[in-house]
Amino acid sequence: MKFHLSATIGLALLCSPSYSARAWTTPATFAVRGGASSSVPSSTSLGATAIEVDTKPIEGMRPGTSGLRKKVEVWQAVDEANKNYVENFIQSLVDTAMDNNEGKPLDTLIVAGDGRYFNNEAIQIIVKVLAGNGVKNIWIPQGGIMSTPAVSAAIRTLEGGKAQGGIVLTASHNPGGPGEDFGIKYNEGYGQPAGEEFTEALYAKSLELKTFKTVEDASDIDLNADVGTTFEITDGSTVTIIDPFDSYMESLKGCFDFDGLKKFCQRDGVSILYDGMHGAGGPFAKKVLVDEIGLPESSLLRSDPRIDFGKCHPDPNLTYAADLVKKMGLKADGSSEESVDFDSIPMLGAANDGDGDRNLIAGAQCFVTPSDSLAMICDNWEAIPHFAKAGGPKGVARSMPSSAALDVVAEARDIPCFSTPTGWKFFGNLMSSKEMFDGTDYTPFLCGEESFGTGSDHIREKDGLWAVLAWMSILMKANENVPEGEPLVSVKDIVKNHWAKYGRHFYCRYDYEAVESDSANEVMDLIRDSFVNGDVSSAESGDIELVGAEEFGYTDPVDGSTTSKQGLILSFKYPSGDTARVIFRLSGTGSAGATIRMYLEKFEKDQSKHDEAAPVALKSLADRALSLVKMTELTGRESPTVIT
């Protein structure tokens, strides 16, 4: 039997007037289990029939660093060549998951998204494919929106951790809306992002796919139905509307002292500004910061999810969170705007990305780089009950391109420290070493990436709000003995003291976006051929000397799996004897062309030099590296798209 599901839906989407006008249901209308909702959850039987539909394989479905990201029009199958794009991808995913489930149909899956353009339409298509494949329970959050960390929490704990996985509709920090990105991430049974073995198997299946399963004669699910409402799609497959917040709130409450934070936030001089960037994190921030901790609503900026993120780029960094950065008394290079009165600035500023898993942290006139933030959370573990209860983290980790600020603290505090390839999936195994592999227990675990990702083992994803609560906890502890009326210890004080104690790792990243793929590969090949496989002394001479080159590969200490080509590392030496490193890597999250990332890091022990802005302190190193790799010559780019 054949039918043209996505062609019809694709067209309907493009024409639907309600589409662009879709409004977000305000969090207040969320029915909390046993709470606000007045009507009783109902059960509806849709009586649909499972069918199998012929399809053709579509190229290019290899997931990257975290999920598969493409222009939304690709997912919408606007071009005939992409017909059944969503169905094909989900069928390949389900087939892979079933292989890992001894060939049996899956029992329970969560489907949720970050609310971007095409979110709800994709949920309806996916539900049908899952029902066609006999997935018994399909859980969808009320409103269809959940942050990535909340999905991870729900997989782990909802109904005793019954879900075998979660399909998250998001392209994360990439912009959304017509002409922009849409994506799908998959998280497995412990809540962790699918590993490379899974995604490679999925990709191989997508290239051989001949049919997909779905259902016919099923009406759409009402995503705004009351929590607990069920829709029996076929005899064997039922959708249940779940509460988006429950499991996640529980996991955060296990990490932090909510009562203490509530009291702390009532102190004079304590104020917090949170920027949701119109992503999925907003409603969760409202729940945590306003409803639970009692901060005023005015603490939240852009916290209503929008299909196009209010036309912003939902990437919480110095460039794209410009308003917040300004309100925190900072300039775009992270240095402070001295003309603003320090006391008029909020104590803590934070932003989350589209799917709520990234975080930017700033204090008044003080930007905290993600690598520094991670090191400082580690050094202040006593402030965080999740760690304090256990006498500190039993393991910490950072992605390789993140700075070594964490390593220095871990060494001083005698905590095992790992350096992994980019992407949260590599932390998952370490955190679940005992749970999944019966190996060493590294929990409680702390980890992070230079790309504004921080988290712990309370879930298996980076967690934007967790980082905000971690910093609030650090501030609370730092001020516990400060009498009322005395000046409070600020983020800036904490950061400066940390640098004074451990030295400062100056750090920043240059991104060259949408570079032609061939040129990007030429840059990487040049580094590989001339320096890694060649000879560093062949480099044209310069003030800052190139002293080493290597390509990062990783053997997972937990399951022994290996990953190669995870970044090219160039080591440098300044005439003063100071050392520095520059890493080149191609991004695995873009949707067009290639993005070259250049990561710069230089250690400075001398406290008198700590006040310089990072991009300034690293400028000569950047220039030296760019000339060595012939960036402008090979790519035509005179300057990066963004510096973070």
Token pair for 515: 């570079």
Closer CB to ligand VG1, residue 489 or residue 508? Answer: 508
Q: Is residue 172 flagged as an active site residue? A: yes
Residue 451 sits in the site that holds ligand VG1 (CB under 6 A): yes
**Residue 589 touches which member of ligand VG1, Co ion, none, C-beta under 5-8 Å by kind:** ligand VG1
Catalytic residue, from 147, 152, 172, 403: name it: 172
Beta carbon nearer to ligand VG1, 502 or 599: 599
Contact flag: residue 359 with Co ion (CB under 5 A):
no
Q: Does 240 bind Co ion (CB under 5 A)?
A: no
Half-sphere exposure of 532 (CA within 13 A, CB side): 19
Between 159 and 197, name the residue whose CB sits nearer to ligand VG1.
197
Helix/strand/coil for 449: strand
Site track for Co ion across 170-199, x = CB under 5 A: --x---------------------------
Does position 353 bind Co ion by CB under 5 A? yes
Q: Which is nearer to ligand VG1, 376 or 594 (CB)?
A: 594
Query: How many Å apart are CA 265 and CA 537, to the nearest integer?
Result: 56
Measured between alpha carbons, how far is 378 from 90 in angstroms, rounded to an integer?
Answer: 39
Per-residue x/- marks for ligand VG1, 409-438, CB under 6 A? Answer: -------------xxx--------------
- Which amino acid is present at 582? V
The smaller minimum CB distance to Co ion, of residues 233 and 459, is found at 459
Start-to-end Cα distance in the chain: 52
Q: What's phi and psi for 70, nearest 5 deg?
A: -145, 165
Q: Is 352 in the site for ligand VG1 (CB under 6 A)?
A: no
One of 114, 243, 304, 355 touching Co ion (CB under 5 A): 355
Mark out the alpha helices in 567-618 (DSSP H runs): 614-617
- How far apart CA 156 and CA 587 sit, in angstroms, is 29
Q: Using the rule CB under 6 A, is 237 a contact of ligand VG1? A: no
- Which residue in the set 73, 95, 353, 601 belongs to the binding site for ligand VG1 (CB under 6 A)? 353
Residues in the interface with Co ion (CB under 5 A) total 5
User: Could you tell me the sign of the dihedral formed by the alpha carbons of 616, 619, 422, 116, in that order?
Assistant: positive
CB of 644 to Co ion, least distance (A): 14
Residue 587 in contact with ligand VG1, rule: CB under 6 A: yes
Taking residue 477's Cβ as centre, other Cβ atoms within 10 Å add up to: 18
Q: Which is nearer to Co ion, 357 or 372 (CB)?
A: 357
H helix and E strand count, the chain: 22, 27
Identify the three-state secondary structure at position 238.
strand
The answer to whether 601 contacts ligand VG1 (rule: CB under 6 A) is no
CB 111 within 8 A of CB 245: no
Q: How far is the CB of 67 from Co ion (least distance, A)?
A: 10
Go through 323-343 and write b for each residue having 16 or more CB atoms within 10 A of its CB, e for each that does not: ebbebbbbeeebbbeeebeee
The rounded distance, in Å, linking the Cα atoms of 221 and 429 is: 35
Per the structure block, which two tokens stand in for 518? Answer: 């061939």
Q: Pick the binder of ligand VG1 from 6, 55, 66, 120 (CB under 6 A).
A: 66
Nearest 10 degrees: CA dihedral of 455, 458, 459, 465? -50
Asked if 510 touches ligand VG1 (CB under 6 A), the answer is: no
Q: Which residues bind ligand VG1 (CB under 6 A)?
A: 65-66, 172-173, 353, 357-358, 399, 422-424, 449, 451, 453, 587-589, 597
Q: Which residues bind Co ion (CB under 5 A)?
A: 172, 353, 355, 357-358
Q: Which residues are catalytic?
A: 172
